[in-house]
């Protein structure tokens, strides 16, 4: 070995140097690219023939490169040429950031597929001229900065969530710069930027201040007035004969400063001249070329010209020619030939000539572990014995490392762990093990070095998928969104606790007694109107029932609503009593109380590589608390795939094993068992915990051994399907049973689980939506934890409802395959599914198509799903069997055939199978012509198309679906009550009843039916529209203020509003203070409090806790101020002209009431 290098790469010194590096077998290709970048000490531009190979090389390079070499992304747009929709803003953000920094990079590897390299780009001067540096202390008018942002293509929005957005509110400007990891909040003092702070786009709360930020333009094309003018001129000259001035034409939209989807394919019209990626490269850059980029370019141009010819007939959207958008084949290679370059190939050359170098690298044969043979390790044992050099084993995770070490234990090898290949190469160890995503083995004979991957040893690809760190905000849960009336639209039904169900007509500002007040307007049966002051929005809740469109509107001035409410309250009392009876029965059982070793638990917790979400932390704490108590745990954890349920289960399993008790994990399918065992072994890698799986993938002999070891207490965690419930399986000391998706097990299995419930702790995981509010009221039946916080930066799924055509199917599948992804094609008819698969294969010969449906035998089905999971196929034609199942992050497109036949809940769940990674995901709901669909089906499809998968709209739709789950859990009888008064009011009454019974009180009907105190102080108390102009946001904040439980919650909300929108105007401060007064009235038994310039009155309830003797003494001592008006109304006279005086006077009066309550 020369200079301790594994590979010695000849240098490229001159501009036209060209060197072919051949025979790069296995994953030595990625190692060679890494060595080229290290040894050349210059930027390396890696050009691949397609996107999938670029992704694979990036994954392997992330292991081989050292810290000094940055891997730089210039992602493909992930659209097809001439598409009618635009790339996701996150992709544009990464591309613009790369273009900005690329010219100044000293060392790094830029990975780019040839099709991306062909695209014409904005000139370098564009980024220089349109990039702003903003500093703290800088003097600039807010309006000027806002205008600059709009010129740079940033969108003004109500709340900043994505790259390229900004929002100005008073003296605050929020912005999410392109290329930045987080958005920033600029706080102005007059015309000076007082502070710049990053903030969380989910919670909208800001962090510590920084000095400056860089604002890159928001698009790859200019959007200022000069550029639009240039577009207008060039477009008119180019398309004189076909110029359409229709308002729907691309020309009209752009010249009116609208930026339609697909505008990127008009980029050359915004500039005098375009450039290419070659012009952004540093002058000392070298190229590294992998694959047949010559053929790839020809193929791309063929696709390009076909798409141009197919789409150039649309007069509203005339197309630029391929030549104007992309480099031609000969132009591209002319540019490539101007740079020093390596050509890398896995196959050997026939001879070594000048500019050609064959490395002595080979694959490793016959080392696969053969489980069915007498000596399964014979192949690898022979290789290690005969090989004289260094051998480095590679596994994909810490858990896989433990598995491999265990597998090779009979060979008695010493396998120290190394962080990377360089550390191992410099060491004196002959053998080692490392964690990497490298797929294939290789031997470098020159260096006497072997790299062996677990794929080669085990004979299959091991896939580990990871969630990213998650948001910790609790404000975006379904129940908070429902409670806060988020995204409430005019015409939707709501419930007023005293007047019943009406339709929301909007917010209306009305002047009363000289003060402006904002009212929530409701329409009832026969068109009657009700105006509710915004300070009383705690009386309003969203109507959620089985049929929202046909909500039973109430009639004002009749007793109907009060009767319906009374009937529901009576039923609620019975349900609450039943719940508490179940609770009492559970409380009487004595289970095992676990001891929490805080040091061990802290170590295990710290191994979790992600930030816990708020919901996840609550769920974990609840599970630990349950297990440490003497009552047996029976907890249900509900949350979507990827939201972190498995970590909750792992914490529970850790506590059980740390107390030397065994854990069983029951799953519905073998493939899910396999995925769980990999994840558990990875998570418990640093602990002496033995994890086994009982599945078909184990031989009869291995299964027999596992059963014996489990009975002997040698297995700590056993994972498997219904085999775990077999009578032949005996545990030495089973302490915890974890069940994944219990509803997917049969009746007999459920009975066996039920029998276990009385003896051990049970934790059930489910992805079926259940409303969080059931948690409080269902403590008796079963403990419930809801994980509703989605992972950060998960992109919303783009949804299209379209009539099915071959063109749409072909485009959707091609777009996904081209970026290295996978596709679900849902065809929910087993009789014709094979024909559907054949049609797709005929349409797209390059696709690898497989079929999955429920009538296949289990073995067959699992083989298909396993192949799809390991990316051996890229199109899965399937039935709704995929509704729940394993997580496949690379599947990011779903086509649903005859989507009109599926229900809303099912469509939501199926669409949720994609969009589980950082890629933009697509859902195509394919339908027959409109006339063949029912009105209901059209309505369902419109609803799902309009709902943003991750936004409030989706969460609210899910909430409405959850109500079915609530009805099922509470019984059919209660479904009627939920429908008559609305789910939210029903749950509120149920919670009150449960609380009363738990504290030993009989729930009073009056208390269940009563609303909170009304307060009218006749001062301006509202959120001005010039402070927050968005009606929905204002409405949501009104509701949050009205619902605040105490002074502390109000204070928190006030701090949040100041942080997000700037200092509170006087009217908003008044609103907060009026709410504080209201909070104090309810516990004092005050029904209504009114105050004006000359006095006011206090209306008490019949059972007020205020001492009547104190009220008598007020009348006696201050007769001029206080008078009694009937048995429960206290009138007062005072000079309260000023708002502040009025609030202070009322506050002192309430203090005096609080100091004189009836004792006991």
Token code pair at residue 222: 């200019």
CA distance 450 to 797: 44
Burial 240-254 (b: 16+ CB within 10 A, else e): eeeebeeeebbbebb
CATH number at residue 410: 3.40.50.11140
CA distance 665 to 741: 11
Least confident of 141-155, 457-471, 532-546, 786-800: 457-471
Residues 611 and 726 in one domain: yes
Query: Total domain count for the chain?
Result: 6
- Quick check: is 559 in a domain? no
CATH number at residue 146: 3.30.2060.10
CA 1116 from centroid of its chain's CA atoms: 65
CA distance 43 to 567: 76
pLDDT, one tens digit per residue, over 875-897 is: 999 998 876 666 788 899 999 99
640 vs 412, more confident = 412
CATH number at residue 106: 3.40.50.11180
Question: What band does 919 get if pLDDT is binned at 50, 70 and 90?
Answer: confident
619 vs 536, more confident = 619
Per-residue confidence (pLDDT) for residue 466, from 0 to 100: 38
Whether the Cβ atoms of residue 689 and residue 712 lie closer than 8 Å to each other: no
Burial 548-560 (b: 16+ CB within 10 A, else e): eeebbbbebeeee
Token code pair at residue 11: 């240098």
Closest by CA to 74, choosing from 291, 294, 298, 276, is 276
Last residue within a domain, chosen from 396, 425, 458: 458
Whether the Cβ atoms of residue 938 and residue 930 lie closer than 8 Å to each other: yes
- Quick check: is 31 in a domain? yes
CA distance 1148 to 671: 68
Residues 294 and 182 in one domain: no
Per-residue confidence (pLDDT) for residue 918, from 0 to 100: 67
Backbone φ and ψ for 168, nearest 5 degrees, come out as -105, 125
- Quick check: is 467 in a domain? no
Instruction: Please spell the DSSP secondary structure of 578-611, one letter per residue.
Output: HHHHHHHHHHH---PPPP--HHHHHHHHHT--SP
Token code pair at residue 195: 């502070």
Per-residue confidence (pLDDT) for residue 775, from 0 to 100: 46
Question: What band does 838 get if pLDDT is binned at 50, 70 and 90?
Answer: very high
Residues 74 and 145 in one domain: no
CATH number at residue 913: 3.40.50.300
Whether the Cβ atoms of residue 884 and residue 767 lie closer than 8 Å to each other: yes
pLDDT, one tens digit per residue, over 641-686 is: 667 889 999 999 999 999 999 999 999 877 788 888 988 998 898 8
Whether the pLDDT of residue 954 is over 60: the answer is no
CA distance 995 to 344: 72
Q: Which residues have C-beta within 8 Å of that of residue 868, sequence separation ≥ 6?
A: 822, 850, 852, 876, 888, 891
Residues 69 and 157 in one domain: no
Handedness of CA 672, 678, 683, 689 (dihedral sign): positive
Instruction: Please spell the DSSP secondary structure of 421-437, one letter per residue.
Output: HHHHHHSS-SEEEEE--
Residues 755 and 626 in one domain: yes
Query: Mean pLDDT across the chain, nearest whole number?
Result: 85
pLDDT, one tens digit per residue, over 505-524 is: 988 888 876 778 888 999 99
- Quick check: is 70 in a domain? yes
pLDDT, one tens digit per residue, over 145-161 is: 999 999 899 999 888 88
CA distance 990 to 980: 15
CA distance 693 to 695: 6
Backbone φ and ψ for 1159, nearest 5 degrees, come out as -65, 140
Instruction: Please spell the DSSP secondary structure of 753-785, one letter per residue.
Output: HHHHHTTSEEEEEE-S---TTHHHHTTTT-EEE
Question: What band does 751 get if pLDDT is binned at 50, 70 and 90?
Answer: low
pLDDT, one tens digit per residue, over 299-318 is: 999 999 999 998 888 878 89
Per-residue confidence (pLDDT) for residue 475, from 0 to 100: 43
Kindly tell me the burial class for residue 347, based on how many C-beta atoms sit within 10 Å of its own C-beta (0-12, 13-18, 19 or more). Answer: exposed
155 vs 472, more confident = 155
Tell me the average pLDDT across 609-630: 87
Whether the pLDDT of residue 1008 is over 60: the answer is no
Indicate the pairing of strand 70-73 with strand 108-113.
parallel
Per-residue confidence (pLDDT) for residue 758, from 0 to 100: 60
Per-residue confidence (pLDDT) for residue 409, from 0 to 100: 87
Per-residue confidence (pLDDT) for residue 782, from 0 to 100: 61
Least confident of 609-618, 934-943, 958-967: 958-967
Whether the pLDDT of residue 1130 is over 50: the answer is yes
* CB atoms near residue 883 (< 10 Å): 15
Intra-chain end-to-end CA distance of the chain, in Å: 90
Edge-to-edge strand order for the sheet containing 717-720? Answer: 691-694, 717-720, 662-666, 734-740, 761-766, 634-639, 783-787
CA distance 972 to 968: 7
Whether the pLDDT of residue 27 is over 60: the answer is yes
CA distance 1061 to 170: 7
Tell me the average pLDDT across 336-364: 89
Residues 624 and 716 in one domain: yes
- Quick check: is 324 in a domain? yes
Per-residue confidence (pLDDT) for residue 545, from 0 to 100: 64
pLDDT, one tens digit per residue, over 169-210 is: 888 999 999 999 889 999 999 899 999 999 877 667 777 788
Last residue within a domain, chosen from 761, 787, 813: 787
Tell me the average pLDDT across 765-788: 60
Which residues on neighbouring strands pair with residue 508, listed in sequence order? 519
Whether the pLDDT of residue 949 is over 60: the answer is no
Residues 837 and 737 in one domain: no
- What is the SS3 assignment for 144? helix
Tell me the average pLDDT across 754-783: 63
Residues 592 and 443 in one domain: no
pLDDT, one tens digit per residue, over 1048-1100 is: 989 989 988 888 888 899 989 999 999 999 999 988 999 999 999 999 999 99
Last residue within a domain, chosen from 329, 354, 379: 354
- Quick check: is 908 in a domain? yes
Q: Which residues have C-beta within 8 Å of that of residue 185, sequence separation ≥ 6?
A: 172, 173, 174, 195, 196, 197, 198, 199, 206, 1059
Residues 120 and 165 in one domain: no
Q: Which residues have C-beta within 8 Å of that of residue 1053, sequence separation ≥ 6?
A: 1037, 1040, 1041, 1044, 1072
Token code pair at residue 768: 């079926």
CA distance 150 to 996: 57
Residues 811 and 776 in one domain: no
Whether the pLDDT of residue 136 is over 70: the answer is yes
Q: Which residues have C-beta within 8 Å of that of residue 935, sequence separation ≥ 6?
A: none
- Quick check: is 863 in a domain? yes
Instruction: Please spell the DSSP secondary structure of 365-395, one letter per residue.
Output: -S----TTSSSTTHHHHHHHHH--SEEEEEE
Question: What band does 465 get if pLDDT is binned at 50, 70 and 90?
Answer: very low
- Quick check: is 129 in a domain? no
Residues 780 and 926 in one domain: no
Domain that holds residue 876: 798-949
Per-residue confidence (pLDDT) for residue 477, from 0 to 100: 47
Residues 852 and 920 in one domain: yes
Per-residue confidence (pLDDT) for residue 964, from 0 to 100: 54
CATH number at residue 1063: 3.90.1150.50
pLDDT, one tens digit per residue, over 254-281 is: 988 888 989 999 999 999 999 999 999 9
* CB atoms near residue 137 (< 10 Å): 11
């Amino acid at each position: 070995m020369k200079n301790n290098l594994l590979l010695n790469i000849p240098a490229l010194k001159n501009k036209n140097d060209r060197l072919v590096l051949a025979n790069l077998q296995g994953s030595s290709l990625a190692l060679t690219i890494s060595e080229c970048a290290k040894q050349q000490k210059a930027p390396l531009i890696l050009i691949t023939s397609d996107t999938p190979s670029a992704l694979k090389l990036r994954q392997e390079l992330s292991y081989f490169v050292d810290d000094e070499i940055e891997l730089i992304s210039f992602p493909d747009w992930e659209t097809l040429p001439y598409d009618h929709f635009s790339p996701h803003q996150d992709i544009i953000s990464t591309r613009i950031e790369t273009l900005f920094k690329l010219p100044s990079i000293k060392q790094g590897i830029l990975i780019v597929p040839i099709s991306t390299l062909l695209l014409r780009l904005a000139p370098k001067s564009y980024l220089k001229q349109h990039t702003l540096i903003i500093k703290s202390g800088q003097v600039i008018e807010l309006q000027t900065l806002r205008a600059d942002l709009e010129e740079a293509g940033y969108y003004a929005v109500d709340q900043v969530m994505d790259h390229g957005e900004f929002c100005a509110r008073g003296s605050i400007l929020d912005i999410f710069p392109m290329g930045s990891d987080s958005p920033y909040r600029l706080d102005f003092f007059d015309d000076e930027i007082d502070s710049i702070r990053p903030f969380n786009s989910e919670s909208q709360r800001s962090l510590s201040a920084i000095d400056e930020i860089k604002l890159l333009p928001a698009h790859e094309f200019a959007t200022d007035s000069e550029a639009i003018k240039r577009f207008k001129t060039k477009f008119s000259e180019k398309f004189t004969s076909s110029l359409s001035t229709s308002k729907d034409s691309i020309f009209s939209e752009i010249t009116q400063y609208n930026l339609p989807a697909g505008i990127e394919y008009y980029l050359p019209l915004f500039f005098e001249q375009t450039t290419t990626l070659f012009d952004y490269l540093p002058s000392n850059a070298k190229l590294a070329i992998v694959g047949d980029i010559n053929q790839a370019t020809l193929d791309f141009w063929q696709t390009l010209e076909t798409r141009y010819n197919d789409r150039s007939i649309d007069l509203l959207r005339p197309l630029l020619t391929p030549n104007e958008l992309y480099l031609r084949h000969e132009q591209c290679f002319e540019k490539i030939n101007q740079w020093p370059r390596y050509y890398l190939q896995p196959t050997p050359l026939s001879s070594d000539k000048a500019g050609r170098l064959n490395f002595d690298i080979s694959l490793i044969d016959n080392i696969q572990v053969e489980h069915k043979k007498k000596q399964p390790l014979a192949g690898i044992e022979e290789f290690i014995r005969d090989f004289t050099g260094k051998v480095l084993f590679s596994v994909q995770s810490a858990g896989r490392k433990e598995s491999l070490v265990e597998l090779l234990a009979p060979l008695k090898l010493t396998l120290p762990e190394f962080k990377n290949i360089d550390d191992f190469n410099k060491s004196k160890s002959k053998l080692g093990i490392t964690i990497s995503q490298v797929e294939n083995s290789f031997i470098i004979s020159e260096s006497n070095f072997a790299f062996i991957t677990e794929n080669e040893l085990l004979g299959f690809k091991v896939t580990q998928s990871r969630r990213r760190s998650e948001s910790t905000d609790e404000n975006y849960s379904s129940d908070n969104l429902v409670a806060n009336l988020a995204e409430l639209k005019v015409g939707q039904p709501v419930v007023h606790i005293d007047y019943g169900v009406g339709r929301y007509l909007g917010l209306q500002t009305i002047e009363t007694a000289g003060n402006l007040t904002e009212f929530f307007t409701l329409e009832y049966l026969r068109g009657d109107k009700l105006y509710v002051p915004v300070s009383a929005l705690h009386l309003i809740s969203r109507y959620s029932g089985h049929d929202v469109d046909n909500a039973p509107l109430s009639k004002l001035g009749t007793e109907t609503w009060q009767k319906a409410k009374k009937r529901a309250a009576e039923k609620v009392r019975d349900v609450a009593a039943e719940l508490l009876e179940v609770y009492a029965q559970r409380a009487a059982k004595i289970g095992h109380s676990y001891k929490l070793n805080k040091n061990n638990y802290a170590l295990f917790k710290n191994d979790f590589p992600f930030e816990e979400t708020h919901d996840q932390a609550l769920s974990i704490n609840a599970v630990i608390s349950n297990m440490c108590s003497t009552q047996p745990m029976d907890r249900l954890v509900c949350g979507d795939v990827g939201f972190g349920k498995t970590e909750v289960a792992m914490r529970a399993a850790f506590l059980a094993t740390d107390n030397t008790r065994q854990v069983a994990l029951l799953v519905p399918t073998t493939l899910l068992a396999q995925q769980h065992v990999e994840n558990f072994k990875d998570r418990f890698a640093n602990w002496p915990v033995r994890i086994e799986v009982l599945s078909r993938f184990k031989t009869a002999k291995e299964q027999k051994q596992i059963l014996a070891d489990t009975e002997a207490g040698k297995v700590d965690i056993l994972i498997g399907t219904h085999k775990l419930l077999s009578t032949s399986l005996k545990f030495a000391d089973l302490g915890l049973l974890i069940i994944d998706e219990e509803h997917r097990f049969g009746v007999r299995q459920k009975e066996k689980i039920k029998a276990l419930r009385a003896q051990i702790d049970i934790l059930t995981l489910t992805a079926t939506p259940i409303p969080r509010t059931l948690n409080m009221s269902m403590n008796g039946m079963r403990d419930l934890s809801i994980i509703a916080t989605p992972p950060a930066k998960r992109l919303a799924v783009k949804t299209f409802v379209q009539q099915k055509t071959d063109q749409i199917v072909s485009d959707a599948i091609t777009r996904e395959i081209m970026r290295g992804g996978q596709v679900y094609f849902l065809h929910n008819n087993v009789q014709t599914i094979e024909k559907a698969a054949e049609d797709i294969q005929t349409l797209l010969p390059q696709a690898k198509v497989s079929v999955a449906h429920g009538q296949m035998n289990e073995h067959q089905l699992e083989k298909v799903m396993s192949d799809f999971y390991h990316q051996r196929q890229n199109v899965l034609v399937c039935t709704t069997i995929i509704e729940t199942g394993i997580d496949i992050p690379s599947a990011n497109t779903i086509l649903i055939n005859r989507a009109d036949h599926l229900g809303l809940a099912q469509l939501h769940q199926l669409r949720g199978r994609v969009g589980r990674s950082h890629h933009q995901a697509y859902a195509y709901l394919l339908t027959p012509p409109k006339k063949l669909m029912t009105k209901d089906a059209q309505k369902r499809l419109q609803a799902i198309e309009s709902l943003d998968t991750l936004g409030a709209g989706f969460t609210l739709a899910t909430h409405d679906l959850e109500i079915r789950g609530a009805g099922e859990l509470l019984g059919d009888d209660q479904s009627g009550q939920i429908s008559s008064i609305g789910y939210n009011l029903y749950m509120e009454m149920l919670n009150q009843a449960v609380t009363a019974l738990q504290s030993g009180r009989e729930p009073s009907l009056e208390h269940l039916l009563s609303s909170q105190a009304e307060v009218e102080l006749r001062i301006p108390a509202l959120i001005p529209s010039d402070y927050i102009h968005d009606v929905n946001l204002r409405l949501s904040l009104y509701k949050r203020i009205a619902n605040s439980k105490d002074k502390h919650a109000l204070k928190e909300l006030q701090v949040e509003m100041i942080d997000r929108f700037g200092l509170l105007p006087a009217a908003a401060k008044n609103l907060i203070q009026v709410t504080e007064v209201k909070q104090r009235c309810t516990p004092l038994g005050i029904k209504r409090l009114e105050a004006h310039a000359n006095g006011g009155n206090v209306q008490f309830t019949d059972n007020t806790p205020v001492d009547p003797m104190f009220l008598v003494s007020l009348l006696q001592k201050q007769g001029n101020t206080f008078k009694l008006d009937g048995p429960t109304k206290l009138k007062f006279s005072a000079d309260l002209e000023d708002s502040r005086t009025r609030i202070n006077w009322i506050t002192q009066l309430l203090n005096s009431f609080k100091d004189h309550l009836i004792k006991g």
